[in-house]
Structure 1
């Protein structure tokens, strides 16, 4: 290393799950690997810090999974949530590769635990990290350090030297000084641009000012912008993203998983006009929870309210914030500053429309409404047991889908045709290849792990 310069085999930009999987895979093939992470050490790992599980195909039950989850079922779930907006060949390739990931991840020190209960319904399909995403990250960092992978924190990449699809070097800042990093291969795993409100506004308009960002404030899309400006082919719609309804009282950035609300299926959701606007019982929560951010974003002032009664209070994982409580619907409306008569009419009309049935949130039950403009097709129960509760919610953006197009080896593709010579991408920065729209719980970690390992192996093999 010369003053202001570093030479390595593989440069990995980013510090989350995808970056760690790439770095470890490359190192295990003999490459000299450097990770540069924009965030300080405490905030390392991007959105991985806030995750809980990953979705992988598997042939049989395990100590932590209750049954098999075939490649065909995984594909069917992905096809349903994306409504066909996915690269079928690449997605099926990822699903096939996911079968080996649980073993490989465990070999890197990550441990799993049985699924949580409640509305998650993921005990068969998703593997939960023991201790959550931060523990998973710590295990991967420990393995990386033991392998001799160097990590530089607070080192943002400011420019990339790319000529005709060939990466030569990156310019970064470290300890306040410019640093030129020469590498034989590049793995970009630096996340999306969800923390860049101005970029979000390019697609969404001014409504993006009311969005809350669930994860790290460091994911501003700087590396993504550099890559697209220097000839990498883009993929995805800038307005498509993983967007869920989160507690409106959450901080602007980094509220994480504890601000997410899983209680939609137990009640009704109204906008600031006290009107329902979507079927709260359309499908099981893990397959539909990620539509609610976009739904709320389309409502006046990007605000809505989940309303339920006493019988549902302990049926789901609570938010970090306590629900707003009242002894009557009128009192609840006043506390929420909603039109009282309209909310009473909405709740009253809903209650009258509820049909007799046997409530069971673990199956598609027969509890539904009849006669409403917007029916609730499952899990419909009258709101009649005081006290009544409400959570205010806003769109919570997890990560964006506009990214870099890649092939089955995670190699970046170029504008105008052709493949990059020595540039790979993994994780949120290329998630739009698989996720054109929609989301199902745990797929983000699958994308990061599978394509991270592929990118690392490809980068090391190129070296």
Structure 2
């Protein structure tokens, strides 16, 4: 029989944090098990841009945790501090007040320490996210949307750093090893049942950390919880997040909480692979340039307020809006005034299939070959949109266009308004050449999860509403944090915060302190 102080189920960012924290706080033997093969290590974290949202005091506060920032570059950065109040407000606003206050408080208050810990303990190579979170305005880099940190080489760099740190810490990892059961004795965990090389094996342990992700890669569960139309969305990340961890937890009476009908979904390349992310292109299939352009459905009509807020606060819900359109796809459209602001990693010629034309009618004809059903409606709607933008500009000629702030340039004026407004960054689409990209809905992770104790990350039992001794949880399996929508970069941060808590509590349990 195998024996370990702590077993972590899942090799992603959150599980890696839990394993490193367990070692740091006194566990001698820590094992990570994952049903994926070694080449799929890292869960969904591998497919991210590495964005971490954190409370911070501005540029001076964060320079100690970022790499590659020269003194001359630092003098050209505008970065507003992001307070605990700001972070809390963002989560609660986007969840419409439904997020559990204790869970939110734990994430927010633990965010800044988690960044330092990730730098010092895991060696995560943080950088400022100039390419995704800042625009150069008048020679200065202006950060927007409250999120400033990324990781060198994105999710690939994040997981590579974790793997190096885990090896140095002596954490073992078994791949192709699904966890299939949990054993309790007198109500407390005593073992984890796995399949190793196809054979059933029981690992003796007093602590397990469930970090196996949500159910976003499971077509059946997506249809069951999210709706039938979610069966065929594109999976952005790992194909191995199929809800197994929830089955383990339910088998020992864990309490399920949160938004089981909600998920993080976004504008995703319509030509991306359907059932899993691409481990080379990873997050490059994201198409987040809609705030500076417009989006229309297959019938040529706009259907969302592209300028409702910064991308950070809308991208995780707009995938759902696209899925709800006829055919489940849409077109993002820009003219030559703004195409220079599109990020090359998402819209480069080698990354995405772009449709370019010298006239809007020519663009409509070309898009009809990709599913646009009504070219005349398309042209009419863009004409109406342009008229509304011009009307607003004529009444507010002093307002400059600025993608780094909510500039208030709108389609809604005293003389003309649209039923579907654009609230910020509204410019006419009238200067050729015109560019369009076809997008669909990409699902990232699901919001429903397990009830946990916010201090220890212990899983709560349904029948007693008390922690189940020895069972902890982190990452996308945590319930009660996100509802409806989420502020970009907060998922990886939450995984680190609760991973640290889970590892610390597991170590205390092993030592008899808990």
Please indicate, yes or no, whether the TM-score normalized by the shorter chain is above 0.5.
yes
Q: CA deviation at 1:360?
A: 0.7
1:341 to 1:282, Cα distance in 2 relative to 1, 3 A: same
Answer yes or no: is 1:438 the counterpart of 2:480: no
Which residue in 2 is equivalent to 1:54?
A: 52
Within 5 Å, which residues of 2 pair with 1:187-336?
Answer: 187-252=209-274, 253-255=276-278, 256-317=282-343, 318-319=346-347, 320-336=351-367
Which residue in 2 is equivalent to 1:114?
A: 128
Q: Deviations over 1:415-451 (max 9, x none)?
A: 1222211100000011x32112211111001110000
Residue segments in structure 2 that go unaligned for 5+ positions in a row = 67-76, 135-142, 394-398
Alignment partner of 1:345 out of 371, 376, 380 = 380
Within 5 Å, which residues of 2 pair with 1:75-224?
Answer: 75-108=88-121, 109-117=123-131, 121-122=143-144, 125-162=147-184, 165-224=187-246
Q: CA deviation at 1:238?
A: 2.2
Which residue in 2 is equivalent to 1:9?
A: 5
Give the Cα separation in 1 of the matches to 2:176 and 2:26.
Answer: 26
Residue 462 of structure 1 aligns to a residue whose secondary structure is helix
Within 5 Å, which residues of 2 pair with 1:450-461?
Answer: 450-461=497-508
Give the Cα separation in 2 of the matches to 1:110 and 1:247.
Answer: 29
Within 5 Å, which residues of 2 pair with 1:59-78?
Answer: 59-61=57-59, 62-63=62-63, 64=66, 66-78=79-91
Which residue in 1 is equivalent to 2:495?
A: 448
1:83 to 1:390, Cα distance in 2 relative to 1, 3 A: same
Give the Cα separation in 2 of the matches to 1:122 and 1:333.
Answer: 33
Q: Deviations over 1:235-262 (max 9, x none)?
A: 1222201111111111111143100012
Q: CA deviation at 1:309?
A: 1.2
Answer yes or no: is 1:38 the counterpart of 2:85: no
Q: Is the 8 A contact 2:267 2:288 kept in 1?
A: no
Residue 100 of structure 1 aligns to a residue whose secondary structure is helix
Which residue in 2 is equivalent to 1:388?
A: 434
Q: Is the 8 A contact 2:207 2:470 kept in 1?
A: yes
Count of matched residue positions in the alignment of Structure 1 and Structure 2? 458
Q: Deviations over 1:375-403 (max 9, x none)?
A: 11111111111121111111110000111
What TM-score does the superposition give when structure 1 sets the normalisation length? 0.95
Q: CA deviation at 1:60?
A: 4.2
1:214 to 1:164, Cα distance in 2 relative to 1, 3 A: farther
Give the Cα separation in 1 of the matches to 2:466 and 2:198.
Answer: 37
Residue 99 of structure 1 aligns to a residue whose secondary structure is helix
Residue segments in structure 1 that go unaligned for 5+ positions in a row = none
Give the Cα separation in 1 of the matches to 2:320 and 2:265.
Answer: 6
Q: Is the 8 A contact 2:317 2:484 kept in 1?
A: no
1:436 to 1:378, Cα distance in 2 relative to 1, 3 A: same
Alignment partner of 1:364 out of 391, 406, 420 = 406
Answer yes or no: is 1:407 the counterpart of 2:453: yes
Q: Is the 8 A contact 2:144 2:405 kept in 1?
A: no
Q: CA deviation at 1:113?
A: 1.4
Q: Give the root-mean-square deviation of aligned CA atoms.
A: 1.8
What TM-score does the superposition give when structure 2 sets the normalisation length? 0.86
Q: Is the 8 A contact 1:303 1:392 kept in 2?
A: yes
Q: Is the 8 A contact 1:55 1:126 kept in 2?
A: yes
Q: CA deviation at 1:328?
A: 2.2
Q: Is the 8 A contact 1:115 1:122 kept in 2?
A: no
Residue 419 of structure 2 aligns to a residue whose secondary structure is coil
Give the Cα separation in 1 of the matches to 2:329 and 2:154.
Answer: 29
Answer yes or no: is 1:28 the counterpart of 2:76: no
1:123 to 1:10, Cα distance in 2 relative to 1, 3 A: same
Answer yes or no: is 1:428 the counterpart of 2:473: no
